[in-house]
Amino acid sequence: MLERWCFMKVLSRWYDIEVKFENESIKKEQFNGVLIKDRNIDEILRSIKNSGIIKKYEFKNKILILK
């Protein structure tokens, strides 16, 4: 079984970023979806945000912080 947020590891590789969680409870949320490699990372993150799992996100020096 894959951990719930393992797709963030995939995004990390695809977009050469580091992913951090400001709130560790986010990792307990379940998210189902399909990752399409040619999508802009902002499109993917907006979809996750629109699902209500994260409230916001920000980039700082190739670090993605999920809030």
Longest dimension (CA), the chain: 32
pLDDT per residue as tens digits for the range 20-29: 989 888 877 7
Q: Residue 4: its pLDDT value, please?
A: 64
Q: Name the residue ranges covered by the structural domains of the chain.
A: 7-66
66/53: higher pLDDT: 66
Q: Residue 17: its pLDDT value, please?
A: 96
**Strand pairing class (63-66; 57-60):** antiparallel
Q: Is the CB of residue 35 less than 8 Å from the CB of residue 11?
A: yes
- What rounded mean pLDDT belongs to the chain? 85
